[in-house]
Chains A and B, each alone.
Chain A
């Protein structure tokens, strides 16, 4: 087994049997994660390749390049897998969270504004799983994901990165 090189993009192994880099998540596990927790169909990722750069940071790329790729960016960082509970990024929640059927919490406008500003808030109506949720609100006549929230003990904690927080 090799160690992960945090300065280059390495393709995720298809399955556990194909793993060559210590601790690297598999493509199978990533696709299953979206399907099992959020109900995002596995077919969504058919044309995507998955990559790791930085410890446990998973990127989705809508195509192929040779691995390893010593470049600055490859598609979108979609997932952090370096802790026990995997965490979808804000960008992945915005782009793919609309496909989710589970673990989606819908906010009223005042709640959505507070969430975007980075505030944690008491929300006692949620009776689904705890952990990372896709957070949505209504805009332009439809429901739309804003980002990822962490729900624990009756509280929704905003995970919007500082640079993306806005006080509207």
Chain B
């Protein structure tokens, strides 16, 4: 009975989801052109041609953003894509400058979220891994990485969770140190004597370098030294090396 009432309530709420424009004040940001004119490209990229311009003092509505391009609509209803560089020179209705997060060196120094992909070596096996991190400040970040290693003797997955400390975030080539814990799951190949899968907890300490390339891109190389807490008498030590590309936003 209660469930059917809940279902009915959800059904009633359904139209609200379908029509966000009715219940939410979804209006676009209006900005004013201060340069002689604002160039509108046909697509979000510098290669797309400029087919329209918006003259000084006219306004445009900012419809959406894709990478470093803004889709705008002029007062006359002309739509086009304006570059980030040009949009830095427009103003809001009260005359204040239009500001937005830029993908530049300042963003590299201090950002909230970053992610990337790596190729590397995990104790002799080929490693493919990806990571995501959340920064508390420009130096300290919590990081989650997931990887798969494929070797001749065994395959497996590695999941690590830990903290990363960037020593001097302002530097273009900046070193960092890492500390954390994780789980490794090893699946030995069937041809071997012990074809048993096993999962073990690990702890790691490591370090690396990150190098700012361009826009929101950087390269990252790192080394982790894992200690695998096995169920046997001695613990294993595993080295992990990897190199990859990452981005921030």
- The yes or no verdict on A and B being binding partners is no
